């Protein structure tokens, strides 16, 4: 909502300054977004006349102007504007002045051999508009030698405030003035309304359809007919104010209706009376697919829930949203039929939303308007129209079931302190409410409060408290500590979430960058990472087709990130994300996962040659680290190769507990890399953290540590064995011989190659044996060695290498 200071002062008698007013507006809930005051920048610009215009001898497009600013001197000005001509009255700037629109201090110039002592300005040069096709041309009655600022009205500061959806009443300047007056910033001036009776009966009238009457969707429609009007230009003050708030001046009648909308927050509709077919305008639901052409020259096809206004020829007005093309007012209009109505806000909102038509009228109607105003506004506007356009006014016509805004709210003044902690006395409460237009009936402790017809938002006692405290001042609310004795801080996050936090630190500590990426991706990419149907994850109004589906996996975004960084020249990178993926639309279908990717080498090329390519082992290590941190020993899970289209089928694995997948890892499948335009090695992992069981007991006590006193013994074995036998099978085979004694089996060597048969490999393992009561004797150790060799041989077909 924009308005000018002088416009506000039409309604408010106050001695406060602009900046006091601006501060106060924000503090009573009318947040000031912007104040534009051009007076300082434009104060030196003078209205001047071109008294001679000759061509420049050395340039075709330039002219030599003689400019008279009534200073006594005639100034020679070189000007390139196509519209520069003799007798033009415009805006003159002298050398030494600052031109805001081009950020330049003007100097005496020499343009192709001719001196220039100043310039005639365009609108853009004065920051009035973006217009720069020519210099400003003023009316011939503009007084030469006077201040352009005052003549133009640009000395009136423009204030922009953000109006919250509940404050429809402040979509008009008068409502803002009323709020300021209630807050002690002066007196609300009374409007000068004459009782215009009219001199004839209107030849046109409104009829409301039975259906609308019954549903009470059009409570009031009032109208008046004007004839013998002269629809020329509106007065200068009105044009200036409308232009200051960004509205183009069109014609007197259009300007007047616009002006009243911003002044009194009352949208009106003006028909050209001579263009209305027949003697009545019917307000009714549209027929199915009924077509309407509105003032913005667009066609809309309506449904039978949209309220329209129709003459004998058909629909030509979208009630409360926009008038029709056919019956609109033009410069030639001499007869005007003026409608002031109250329409159901929900109906207006539904229609507007459905056809996606935004207008100042709809914005106001759907927020709810003063339901009591049609009659007095008619009197106010009739006076204004006759004053500006002449002509005669008809009697007032009125139809509808009547507005029904009156309601009572039970209120106890005690509620103010209960809800705000501020003890506002009853006299102050009463004054604030009365100033805002509320009526109060006092019955003992309980008051009965009647909101004014322009406050449709007020529907309970909490609303009244808000009105009182916002005017009384939020700065008067005391502060009470919430750090109180009755609450002992306890862990704020669940154990599940604590685990997620720890994982982030772990992975960052392992050299990975934490990413947070969009929850939506493209459907095509989503499809690559889901074996299930994902149609239910499609967003019906995505911001772009790249972001039209909820992600079923964290991989796609991290792959895109890798791709982007790689293309930018980052030879290697490691990323992870801890975040949600989606399976379906229910709350339980949103699952937190942990995913990480590494591409390129472990480090940059360096003099120690320590860097190497990331491989599947790095991804496996990441996955194991996460699982371990989550409280699960990876060796207690089952590890198998994992065949999906995400990973390299021979270089990927899956950790599981029974049928529950705990984690996957591996080299990313080359076809996936191709889809993401990645021509570098990429490995990754994903942990289903929600599947990793939380340790059951919630206790700070750790399991008791038992240290063995006897020295453990290490023995190395090298087996020749079929390539198909997994190292994990061998280590498990050995461990299972005696779990108490054999503490660990560690792979230290793997050889495949020429020295062995094609289908064989050599695997070296170190076995850690822990004596319990006595140190091992040579025979004990021999015995274990024998059993180890026998077991590997009988169960897996391996034999000791020579």
Partner 1 sequence: MQDYDKLKNEVLIKIKEANSLDDLENLRVQVLGKKGSITSLMKQLGSLEPDKRREVGQILNSLQKNIIKSIDNKKSSLEETFLNKKLKNEALDITLPTRPENIGRIHPLSKTMDEVISIFAQMGFTVAEGPDIESDFYNFTALNIPQEHPARQEHDTFYFNEDENGERKVLRTHTSPVQIRTMEKLKPPLRVIVPGRTYRSDHDATHSPMFHQCEGLVIGDKLNMSHLKGCLIDFCRIFFGIDDLPVRFRPSYFPFTEPSAEVDIGCSRKSGELIIGEGDEWLEILGSGMVNPRVLQNCGLDPNEHQGFAFGMGLERVAMLKYGIPDLRPFFDSDLRWMKHYGFFPFEQTSIHQG
* Residues between 523 and 562 that touch partner 1 (CB under 8 A): 536-544, 547, 550, 557-558, 560-561
Binders in 24-43 for partner 1, by CB under 8 A: 26-29, 31
- Complex with partner 1: residue 154 or 464, whichever CB lies closer: 464
**Residue among 482 and 701 whose Cβ is closer to partner 1:** 482
CA-nearest of 229, 230, 269, 262 to 244 is: 262
3-state secondary structure of 742: strand
Select the residue interacting with partner 1 from 519, 691, 762, 770 (CB under 8 A). Answer: 519
Site for partner 1 (CB under 8 A): which residue of 221, 506, 625, 682? 506
| Spatial distance between the Cα atoms of 117 and 109, rounded to a whole number of angstroms | 7
Least distance in angstroms from the C-beta of 698 to partner 1: 15
Rounded to a whole number of angstroms, the minimum distance from the CB of residue 136 to partner 1 is 32
In the bound state with partner 1, the residue whose beta carbon lies nearer, of 263 and 366, is 366
Q: Which residue of 434, 441, 448, 585 would you call a contact of partner 1, by CB under 8 A?
A: 585
Q: Which of residues 333-362 bind partner 1 (CB under 8 A)?
A: 345-346, 349-350, 353
Q: Taking contact as CB under 8 A, which single stretch among the options 234-242, 260-268, 375-383, 566-574 is the one that binds partner 1?
A: 566-574
Nearer to partner 1 among residue 314 and residue 580 (C-beta): 580
Write the binding mask 181 to 210 for partner 1: x where contact by CB under 8 A, - elsewhere: ------------------------------
Q: What is the largest CA-CA distance in the chain?
A: 130
Q: Are 528 and 645 in contact (CB under 8 A)?
A: yes
* Footprint on residues 125-184 left by partner 1 (CB under 8 A): 164-167
Tokens of 106: 């003007």
26 or 645: CB nearest partner 1: 26
Give the tokens for residue 457.
């938002």
Cβ proximity to partner 1: between 25 and 639 the closer is 25
Full DSSP string of 542-569 = -SSGGG-EE-S-SHHHHHHHHHHHHHTT
Q: Which is nearer to partner 1, 166 or 334 (CB)?
A: 166
Nearer to partner 1, 443 or 484 (CB): 484
Least Å distance, CB 7 to partner 1, is 23
Site pattern 461..490 for partner 1 (x: CB under 8 A): -xx-xx--xx---xx-xxxxxxxx--xxxx
Residue 560 beta carbon to partner 1: minimum distance, rounded to whole angstroms: 8
Shortest spacing between CB 663 and partner 1, in angstroms: 19
Indicate which single residue of 278, 402, 511, 797 sits in contact with partner 1 (rule: CB under 8 A).
511
Q: Find the binding residues for partner 1 in span 388-427 (CB under 8 A).
A: 417-422
Triad 254, 257, 260: Cα angle to 5°? 145
Phi-psi region of 775 (alpha: psi -120 to 50; beta: other; left: phi over 0): beta
* Helices 18-27, 173-182: crossing angle, 10 deg rounding: 90
CB of 155 to partner 1, least distance (A): 25
Please provide the distance, in angstroms rounded to a whole number, between the alpha carbons at the two ends of the chain: 92
d(CA 619, CA 649): 15
What is the size of the binding site for partner 1 (CB under 8 A)? Answer: 105
- Among 440, 493, 747, 750, contact with partner 1 (rule: CB under 8 A): 493
Instruction: Say how far apart CA 185 and CA 631 lie, in whole Å.
Output: 66
| Residue 603 or 631 having the CB closest to partner 1 | 603
Nearest approach, Cβ of residue 474 and partner 1 (Å): 4
> Distance between CA 441 and CA 426 in Å, rounded?
13
Q: How far is the CB of 582 from partner 1 (least distance, A)?
A: 7
Q: 446 and 410 in contact (C-beta within 8 Å)?
A: yes
Q: Closest approach of Cβ 539 to partner 1, in Å?
A: 5
Dist. CA 282–CA 278, nearest whole Å: 11
| DSSP, residue by residue, 608-643 | T----B--HHHHHHHHHHHHHHTT--GGGSEEEE--
Q: For partner 1, which is the closer residue by CB, 26 or 406?
A: 26
Of residues 413 and 557, the one with the C-beta less far from partner 1: 557
CB of 670 to partner 1, least distance (A): 22
Question: What separation in angstroms does the CA of 217 have from each of 285, 750, 790?
Answer: 10, 85, 93
Place of tokens 């001196």: 115
Is residue 281 near partner 1 by the rule CB under 8 A? no
Q: Where are the beta strands (DSSP E) in 552-689?
A: 573-582, 590-599, 638-641, 647-657, 660-668, 682-687
Kindly write out the interface string for residues 282-321 of this chain, putting x where it contacts partner 1 by CB under 8 A and - elsewhere: ----------------------------------------
CB of residue 16 to partner 1, shortest distance in Å:
18
Residues 609-648 that bind partner 1 (CB under 8 A): 610-611
| Contact residue for partner 1 among 190, 604, 679, 757 (CB under 8 A) | 604
CA 73 centroid distance within chain: 56
Shortest Cβ 124–partner 1 spacing (Å): 24
Q: Which two tokens stand for residue 732?
A: 């498990």
- Identify which of residues 136 and 212 has a Cβ nearer to partner 1 in the complex: 212
Report how far residue 103's alpha carbon sits from residue 125's, in angstroms, rounded to the nearest whole number.
9
Cβ distance to partner 1 smaller for residue 575 or 676 = 575
Smallest separation (angstroms) from partner 1 to the CB of 602: 7
Under 8 Å between Cβ of 234 and 388: yes
Residue 255 or 548: which CB sits closer to partner 1?
548
| Alpha-carbon torsion (137, 142, 145, 150), positive or negative | negative
Q: Which long-range contacts (CB under 8 A, 24 or more apart) does 518-521 make?
A: 518/547, 518/551, 518/557, 519/550, 519/551, 519/579, 519/580, 519/582, 520/547, 520/548, 520/549, 520/550, 520/551, 521/546, 521/547, 521/549, 521/551, 521/556, 521/557
Quote the CA–CA distance of 179 and 161 in Å, as a whole number. 13
Q: How far is the CB of 454 from partner 1 (least distance, A)?
A: 16
Q: How far is the CB of 597 from partner 1 (least distance, A)?
A: 10
């Amino acid at each position: 909502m924009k308005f000018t200071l002088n416009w506000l002062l039409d309604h408010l008698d106050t001695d406060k300054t602009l900046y006091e007013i601006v501060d106060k507006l924000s503090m009573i809930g009318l947040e000031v977004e912007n104040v534009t005051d051009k007076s300082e920048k434009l104060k030196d610009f003078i209205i001047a006349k071109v008294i001679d215009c000759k061509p420049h001898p050395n340039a075709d497009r330039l002219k030599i102007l003689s400019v008279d600013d009534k200073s006594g001197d005639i100034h020679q000005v070189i000007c390139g504007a196509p519209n520069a001509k003799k007798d033009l009255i415009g805006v003159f700037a002298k050398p030494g002045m600052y031109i805001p629109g081009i950020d330049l201090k003007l100097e005496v110039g020499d343009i192709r051999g001719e001196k220039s002592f100043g310039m005639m300005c365009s609108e853009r040069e004065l920051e009035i508009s973006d217009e720069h096709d020519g210099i400003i041309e003023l009316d011939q009655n503009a007084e030469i030698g006077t201040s352009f600022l005052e003549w133009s009205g640009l000395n009136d500061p423009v204030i922009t405030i953000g109006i919250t959806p509940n404050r429809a009443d402040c979509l008009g300047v008068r409502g803002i003035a009323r709020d300021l007056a209630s807050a002690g910033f002066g007196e609300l001036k009374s409007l000068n309304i004459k009782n215009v009776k009219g001199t004839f009966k209107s030849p046109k009238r409104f009829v409301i359809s039975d259906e609308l009457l019954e549903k009470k969707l059009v409570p009031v429609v009032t109208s008046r007919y004007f004839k013998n009007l002269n629809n020329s230009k509106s007065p200068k003050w009105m044009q200036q104010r409308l232009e200051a708030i960004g509205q183009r001046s069109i014609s007197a009648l259009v300007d007047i209706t616009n002006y009243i909308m911003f002044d009194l927050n009352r949208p009106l509709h003006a028909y050209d009376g001579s263009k209305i077919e027949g003697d009545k305008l019917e307000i009714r639901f549209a027929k199915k697919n009924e077509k309407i052409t509105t003032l913005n020259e667009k066609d809309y096809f309506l449904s039978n829930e949209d309220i329209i206004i129709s003459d004998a020829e058909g629909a030509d007005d979208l009630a409360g949203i926009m008038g029709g093309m056919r019956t609109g007012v033009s410069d030639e209009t001499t007869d005007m039929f003026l409608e002031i109505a109250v329409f159901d806000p929900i109906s207006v909102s539904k229609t507007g939303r459905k056809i996606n038509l935004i207008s100042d009228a709809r914005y106001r109607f759907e927020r709810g308007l003063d339901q009591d105003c049609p009659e007095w506004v008619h009197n106010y506007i009739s006076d204004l129209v006759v004053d500006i356009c002449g002509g005669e006014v008809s009697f007032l016509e009125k139809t509808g079931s009547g507005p029904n805004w009156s309601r009572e709210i039970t209120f106890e003044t005690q509620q103010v302190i209960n809800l705000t902690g501020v003890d506002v006395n009853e006299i102050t409460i009463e004054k604030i409410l009365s100033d805002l237009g509320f009526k109060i009936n006092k019955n003992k402790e309980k008051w009965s409060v009647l909101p004014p017809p322009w406050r449709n938002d007020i529907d309970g006692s909490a609303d009244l408290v808000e009105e009182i405290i916002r005017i009384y001042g939020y700065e008067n609310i005391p502060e009470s500590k919430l750090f109180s004795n009755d609450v002992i801080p306890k862990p704020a996050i669940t154990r599940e979430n604590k685990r997620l936090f720890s994982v982030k630190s772990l992975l960052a500590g392992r050299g990975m960058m934490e990413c947070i990426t969009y929850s939506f991706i493209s459907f095509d990419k989503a499809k690559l990472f889901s074996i299930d149907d994902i149609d239910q994850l499609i967003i019906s109004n995505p911001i772009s087709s790249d972001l039209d589906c909820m992600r079923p996996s964290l991989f796609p975004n991290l792959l895109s990130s890798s791709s982007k960084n790689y293309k930018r020249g980052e030879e290697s990178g490691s990323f992870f994300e801890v975040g949600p993926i989606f399976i379906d639309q229910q709350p339980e279908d949103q699952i937190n996962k942990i995913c990480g990717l590494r591409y390129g080498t472990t480090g940059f090329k360096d003099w120690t040659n320590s860097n190497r390519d990331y491989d599947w082992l790095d991804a496996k290590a990441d996955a194991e680290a996460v699982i371990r941190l989550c409280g699960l020993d990876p060796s207690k899970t089952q590890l198998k190769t994992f065949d999906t289209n995400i990973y390299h089928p021979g270089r990927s694995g899956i950790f599981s507990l029974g049928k529950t997948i705990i984690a996957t890892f591996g080299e990313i499948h080359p076809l996936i890399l191709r889809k993401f335009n990645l021509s570098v090695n990429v490995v990754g992992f994903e942990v289903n953290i929600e599947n990793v069981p939380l340790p059951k007991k919630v206790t700070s006590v750790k399991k008791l540590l038992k240290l063995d006193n006897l020295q453990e013994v290490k023995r190395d074995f090298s087996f020749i064995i079929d390539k198909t036998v997994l190292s994990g099978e061998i280590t498990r085979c050995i461990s299972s011989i005696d779990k108490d004694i054999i503490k660990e089996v560690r792979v230290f060597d793997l050889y495949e190659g020429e020295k062995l048969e094609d289908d064989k490999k050599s695997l070296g393992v170190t076995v850690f044996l822990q004596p319990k009561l006595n140190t091992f004797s040579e025979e004990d150790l021999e015995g274990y060695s024998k059993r180890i060799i026998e077991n590997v041989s009988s169960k897996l077909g391996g034999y000791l290498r020579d």
